[in-house]
Amino acid sequence: MPLALATDYNPGSTPSGNMNFVVSTACIKMKMTPEEAINAATINGAYAMGISHQYGSITRGKKANLIITKQVPSYNFLPYAFGENHIDTVIINGTIL
């Protein structure tokens, strides 16, 4: 069964929108692999919101919303070093911000 990860970003109970922390916590507390957690935060999250036809993966015909990271050893490193900002470039609707 596909699982989606997201932040609650609720000032009353969960005042954080930090997806790095969510992915890392899923690996630590839910015993998810980095690949499972990243999929849950991207394509599965888009599917849960009914927008997977436009968002959630890098696919021809979808919106070009993505990040490019600084050099990391592998994607497995991302949940391990969640306190660091690994983002180098942000692209929204095909435009570099």
Q: In whole numbers, what is the pLDDT of the chain averaged over residues? A: 90
Q: With a cut of 90, say whether residue 9 has pLDDT above it.
A: no
Average pLDDT for 1-20: 85
Residue 80 pLDDT: 86
Average pLDDT for 26-54: 95
Distance CA 41, CA 2 (A): 11
pLDDT band at 2 (very low <50, low <70, confident <90, very high): confident
pTM, whole model, 2 decimals?
Answer: 0.84
* In contact, 7 and 16? CB cutoff 8 Å: yes
- Tell which residue, 93, 30, 32, 23, has the closest CA to residue 65: 93
